[in-house]
């Protein structure tokens, strides 16, 4: 099943609300708030790679408070 990990930078103080919203999205399997260069890591999974890309592009990246993302697509 196609999947990707998305590393996210958030605006200061918006991390918890982003995690809450991510957990509501279809296709988002796991979400972690982390320390380091990135603030949040999300695992996205769908039936097709096209759906994975759409979820990342049109849902994750558009959430309020998300400053930037880095996507790592999992190899088959």
Tell me, yes or no, whether 21 lies in a domain.
yes
**Residue 41 contacts residue 31 (beta carbons within 8 Å):** yes
How do residues 12-41 score in pLDDT, each as one tens digit? Answer: 999 999 999 999 999 999 999 999 999 999
Q: How many domains does the chain have?
A: 1
CATH number at residue 29: 3.30.70.920
In the chain, pLDDT over 70 holds for what percent of residues?
Answer: 100
Please report which residue ranges of the chain form alpha helices under DSSP H: 15-24, 49-55
Supply the pTM of this predicted model: 0.94
Tell me, yes or no, whether 59 lies in a domain.
yes
Tell me, yes or no, whether 52 lies in a domain.
yes
Tell me, yes or no, whether 75 lies in a domain.
no
- Residue-number span of the structural domain to which 42 is assigned: 3-67
Tell me, yes or no, whether 74 lies in a domain.
no
Tell me, yes or no, whether 44 lies in a domain.
yes
The rounded mean pLDDT for the chain is 97
pLDDT bracket for residue 76 (50, 70, 90) = confident
Question: How far from the centroid of its chain's Cα atoms is residue 52's Cα?
Answer: 10
């Amino acid at each position: 099943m196609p999947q990707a990990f998305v590393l996210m930078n958030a605006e200061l103080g918006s991390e918890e609300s982003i995690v809450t919203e991510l957990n509501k999205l279809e296709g988002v399997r796991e979400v972690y708030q982390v320390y380091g260069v990135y603030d949040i890591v999300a695992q996205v999974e769908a039936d097709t790679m096209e759906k994975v890309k759409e979820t990342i592009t049109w849902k994750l990246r558009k959430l309020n408070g998300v400053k930037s993302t880095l996507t790592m697509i999992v190899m088959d």
